[in-house]
Amino acid sequence: MRGFGFLHDGSVGTVNLFLQAPVFTLSATQEGQLEQFLLAFDTGQKPAVGQQVTAAPANASGTTTINRIALLAAQADAGNVELIAKGVVSGEPTGWRYAGSGFFESDRRDFPLITTSALRSLGATAGQEITFTSVPLGSGERLGIDRDGDGTRYGDERDLGTDPGDPSMPTECSDRIDNDGDGQLDAADPGCRDATAASESPSCSDGLDNEGDGLVDMADPDCGNPWSDNETLLNRPCGLLGIEVLPVLLWSALRRRRRVVV
């Protein structure tokens, strides 16, 4: 079993080892005293946060591993921590989040819940060791199954070919769902300019007269393309009624100033 280390990447195992770095000039006694002083500060987290155990071929069925995972799950059930698991299964990085009552949910939304014992047993296969980690409350979804918090899980984003770390993707035009019910998906939908477009049914391809001018979608002169969202631009101001007037005002002011100078 191991927990989080210190430093930005967790690479230093203890505070004492950190204080032994060359940047500090401390005696062994001072290192120990300073370590105890730093450890006296409350982190605001439960003691179980950061605890880890890895189920591997050598220990997946061992009592110590089973009991440790059960302890972490009990802490999660008690509301002290959240519990996640990570591993490489069938050559693919996979994540899970503890859903309670002895079950984990996968980073693919359509996958069924898996029991704690079944997940632990996956680690018995060489190359797909499973590491269980207790994390702070509120961080289980992000650390376990949806890093960018966009509602689309890791595995689902990998299947879509979108970046699991980019919260702007996928959009309606890259999620492989017929969001507007017209029988066309993503780039095949005329409402999608490209994979980054937010909607399959912008105002110029939604079948509605959004302006109430009697013209729908591409029949409306405001719509230059089916992926345009300009059909809502009814009675746009024209002429010098807005910011367009600023250059004229500036030119007029300069002319008056020149006349005064002359």
Burial (CB count <10 Å: 0-12, 13-18, 19+), residue 53 = buried
Contact 82, 137 (CB under 8 A): yes
Average pLDDT over residues 203-210: 84
Q: What is the pLDDT of residue 200?
A: 80
Domain ranges across the chain: 1-41, 52-154, 173-239
**Between residues 53 and 250, the one the model is more confident about:** 53
What is the signed CA dihedral for 115, 120, 122, 123, rounded to 10 degrees?
170
pTM of the model: 0.68
Q: How confident is the model at residue 104 (pLDDT cuts 50, 70, 90)?
A: very high
Mean residue pLDDT across the chain: 86
Q: How confident is the model at residue 42 (pLDDT cuts 50, 70, 90)?
A: confident
Contact 136, 144 (CB under 8 A): no
Lowest pLDDT segment from 54-63, 73-82, 132-141, 233-242: 233-242
Spatial separation of the C-alpha atoms in residues 4 and 131, rounded to whole Å: 13
Contact 202, 214 (CB under 8 A): no
Question: Residue 84: beta bridge partners?
Answer: 97, 133
Q: How confident is the model at residue 217 (pLDDT cuts 50, 70, 90)?
A: confident
Average pLDDT over residues 238-249: 56
- How confident is the model over 53-77, as pLDDT tens digits? 999 999 999 999 999 999 999 999 9
